[in-house]
């Protein structure tokens, strides 16, 4: 399995500010995925991050609000910009370690509270 | 659009019971189905992965089955323990993306 480290594990932020979440994997992977889990809800895919190209965003998510970087095959960041209380969620990164459509592994998540 | 539903939403059982969690999905064109557990406020831990060509997978006290044609999967937990208390999520890998179910919150009472 993969070791996926997310930082920070939790944060409390003021509305209008931005937070950057880091995801580090101990293996090289082609695609990394960012999910949001709102309180009491299941996971929703925000975007897929490919190394060397623009991230692909799902319907309802835009790059200005959730910019993503993918500088190499083991690291990605997700920024939550101009935060509002509605952004309070758990944010998780995920990888398919053995290639597309294989077993997915998740980081421990970042619990974000916006006040 | 893939929709994934899990029943029941919550389940409380005494320790030692065998139990079954259900997952249903609307589009049978899938690569695989994966079961996860999630502890409160934490990330997801992978339990079992079933490829679309497989019927079941087993790991310890866990057994997951897949009936792709009917759009159903079950997770069987044998001899439940208090440490099994968590939310269980199924995730369906379609041709475009992964879709998660709504989850079953399990409580095993000592």
Distances (CA, A) of A69 to A109, B3, B61: 17, 30, 40
Distant-in-sequence, close-in-space partners of A21: CB < 8 Å, separation ≥ 6: A6, A7, A8, A77, A78, A79, A80, A91, A93, A110
Q: Is the CB of A109 less than 8 angstroms away from the CB of B103?
A: no
Chain A residue with minimal CA distance to B42?
A108
> With contacts defined as CB-CB under 8 Å, which chain A residues touch B103?
42
Q: How far is A17 from chain B (nearest CA, A)?
A: 23
Distant-in-sequence, close-in-space partners of A65: CB < 8 Å, separation ≥ 6: A80, A81, A82
The whole-number mean pLDDT for each consecutive block of 10 residues of chain A, a chain of 115 residues, reads 91 98 94 93 93 90 96 95 97 87 90 97
Q: What was the pLDDT predicted at A87? A: 97
Residue A11 to residue A1: CA distance in whole angstroms: 27
Q: What was the pLDDT predicted at A75? A: 95
C-beta of residue A68 within 8 angstroms of C-beta of residue A78: yes
Res. B29 pLDDT band, cuts 50 70 90: very high
> Which tokens hold the place of A102?
């294989």
Q: Is the CB of B34 less than 8 angstroms away from the CB of A58?
A: no
For the ranges A6-20, B36-50, B67-81, which has the lowest average pLDDT? B36-50
Q: Which among B29, B44, B99 is the top mutation candidate for probing chain A, defined by the most A β-carbons within 10 Å of its own β-carbon?
A: B44
| Nearest alpha carbon to residue B17 among B104, B103, B86, B106 | B106
Q: What is the CA radius of gyration of chain B?
A: 13
B34 interface with A at CB cutoff 8 Å = yes
Residues in chain B: 110
Q: What was the pLDDT predicted at A60? A: 95
Q: Is the CB of B41 less than 8 angstroms away from the CB of A111?
A: yes
Q: Is the CB of B46 less than 8 angstroms away from the CB of A107?
A: no
Among A42, A94, A101, the residue with its CB nearest the CB of B31 is A101
Q: What was the pLDDT predicted at B8? A: 92
Grouping H, G, I as helix, E, B as strand and the rest as coil, residue A87 is: helix
C-beta of residue A107 within 8 angstroms of C-beta of residue A1: no
């Amino acid at each position: 399995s993969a070791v996926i480290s997310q930082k920070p594990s939790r944060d409390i932020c003021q509305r209008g500010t931005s937070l950057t979440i880091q995801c580090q994997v101990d293996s090289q992977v082609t695609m990394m995925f960012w999910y949001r889990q709102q309180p009491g809800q299941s996971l929703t895919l925000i975007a897929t991050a490919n190394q060397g190209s623009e991230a692909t965003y799902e319907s309802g998510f835009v790059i200005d609000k959730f910019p993503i970087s993918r500088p190499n095959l083991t690291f990605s960041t997700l920024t939550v910009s101009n935060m509002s209380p509605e952004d309070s969620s758990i944010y998780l990164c995920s990888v398919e370690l053995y290639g597309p459509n294989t077993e997915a592994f998740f980081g421990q998540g970042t619990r974000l509270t916006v006040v | 659009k893939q929709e994934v539903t899990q029943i029941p939403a919550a389940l409380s059982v005494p320790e030692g019971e065998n139990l079954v969690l259900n997952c249903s999905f609307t589009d049978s064109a899938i690569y695989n189905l994966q079961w996860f557990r999630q502890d409160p406020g934490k990330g997801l831990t992978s339990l079992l992965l079933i490829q679309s060509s497989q019927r079941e997978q087993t790991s310890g006290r866990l057994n997951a089955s897949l009936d792709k044609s009917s759009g159903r999967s079950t997770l069987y937990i044998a001899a439940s323990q208090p440490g099994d208390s968590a939310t269980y999520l199924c995730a369906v890998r379609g041709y475009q993306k992964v879709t998660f179910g709504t989850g079953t919150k399990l409580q095993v009472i000592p």
